[in-house]
Amino acid sequence: MNFIFRNSFLALFLFVLFLVEKPATAQNQTMSTTDSTFAIAVEVSAGPSVRIHSTGNTVDNFSFTPVLRILWEPNHLLDLGLGTAFLNLEKEEKKNISNEFGTTDFHAGLTGIPIIFISRMHLWKVELSGGIGASRVHSNLTAFGNTVDASQWYQCYYFALGYEHILTGKMGIGTEFFSFSMPKIDQQKIGIMFKFSYDLYRW
């Protein structure tokens, strides 16, 4: 079911992209060279998020998610770029667990750092973003004074719906609802972020 939903959403995203880009391209062709504007922008975002199990309705592991994006913004409705984040996927701690080996404190954690290729469309004042990439997932477990660590790459999907208010010619603030998902390991983080954007270079 998740596979069907994910691919249906991706197909819808590409279809809307096609419809939007056709008039955007035509509009750009009527613009003079002096009116064209391009920018390299950096966006810093952060906000609360929760993890959702795709196999049920359980929601847990409230955390804070920071996101960094670098985007190429030509003077039309589509932006392209790269993004990364720090995802606190799972965390569990238990004190004074007793078994046949004795008594210990237990700690387990799972984090992810995705690298995502992002495309973003501007529809009126709304921003619709989608992306695909890979996430480096790191797990660790500590018990009886021993720690075990492991890392592996997994495919990662990103979707967001947001709004941005331009403060000056180079700066803007906004908010967006976001989702990072890794279906291979049944992990999804959703939340809301507040963002600050700044044009590093404009020509």
| Residue-wise DSSP of 77-105 | SEEEEEEEE-EEEEEEEEEEEEETTEEEE
CATH number at residue 40: 2.40.160.20
Helix H or strand E encompassing 25: helix 2-29
Q: Where in the sequence is the domain holding 155, given as residue range(s)?
A: 2-202
The pLDDT tens digits for 149-166 are 889 999 999 999 999 888
Give the tokens for residue 24: 């955007």
Residue 109 has pLDDT above 90, yes or no: no
CA 164-132-57 angle, to 5 degrees, is: 85
Looking at the chain, the number of H-run helices and the number of E-run strands are 1, 9
Structure-model confidence comparison of residues 137 and 59, the more confident one: 137
Number of folded domains that form the chain: 1
Amino acid at 113: I
Using pLDDT thresholds of 50, 70 and 90, give the confidence band for residue 56: low
Please give the Cα distance from 136 to 165 (Å, whole number).
Answer: 33
CB-based contact 192:163 (threshold 8 Å): no
